[in-house]
Amino acid sequence: METTTEKNIATFTHLSALTQYFIPFGNYIFPILIWSSKKDKSEFVDHNGKQVLNFQLSLLLYSLILIIIAVPIFIVTLFKNIPFSAIINDNDVIINHFDFENSIGLITVGIIAALVFFALKVAEFFLIIYASIKTSNGEKYKYPLSIPFIK
């Protein structure tokens, strides 16, 4: 049976991942600080700290993969379809031969990757809240799609 203090620390460890919206890399820094200071004193806090960090590292990996897919596709498509000859008339820029027809498959893959990235960020927010609620009730929570980097 976990004490109220252990539940609160574990809950705060989950919620500290939300600091990424205010402080760059706060989703790694604060959970690491909380987890490393209390992991030896409580098995419950240790378990939840590992879950938070594994989830954040997994999301980083998934995000990097999606960015590696989406960004080059958009750059290649853009430079492939925009000619370097443009006509400038009276403060208007006219670009000729702008054609997405041959690259619609690549654009679709890039858009899907961007949408999956956005869905991951929304899911991350709600999963952190859900994990915090479960942890505050004294349950051990395991994030879905989390790769166990820290065991």
Residue 86 is predicted with a pLDDT of 56
Q: How many C-beta atoms surround the C-beta of residue 97 within 10 A?
A: 8
What mean pLDDT do residues 31-43 have? 91
Picking from 17, 4, 7, the residue whose alpha carbon sits closest to that of residue 127 is 17
Give the H/E segment covering residue 29. helix 26-38
Residue 98 is predicted with a pLDDT of 59
Cα distance from N-terminal residue to C-terminal residue, the chain: 22
Which tens digit of pLDDT belongs to each residue from 44-61?
Answer: 999 999 999 999 999 999
Its pTM stands at: 0.81
More confident residue, 96 or 113: 113
More confident residue, 38 or 98: 38
Confidence of residue 106 (pLDDT cuts 50, 70, 90): confident
- 90: burial class by Cβ within 10 Å (0-12, 13-18, 19+)? exposed
Give the whole-number percent of the chain exceeding pLDDT 90: 53
Picking from 5, 35, 8, 40, the residue whose alpha carbon sits closest to that of residue 135 is 8
Residue 84 is predicted with a pLDDT of 53
Say if residue 130's pLDDT is above 60.
Answer: yes
Confidence of residue 113 (pLDDT cuts 50, 70, 90): confident
Which tens digit of pLDDT belongs to each residue from 66-103?
Answer: 888 888 887 877 777 665 555 566 666 665 665 666 66
**Residue owning tokens 């820290």:** 150
Q: Which amino acid is at 127?
A: L
Between the alpha carbon of residue 128 and those of residues 33, 131, 134, the distances in Å are 17, 5, 10
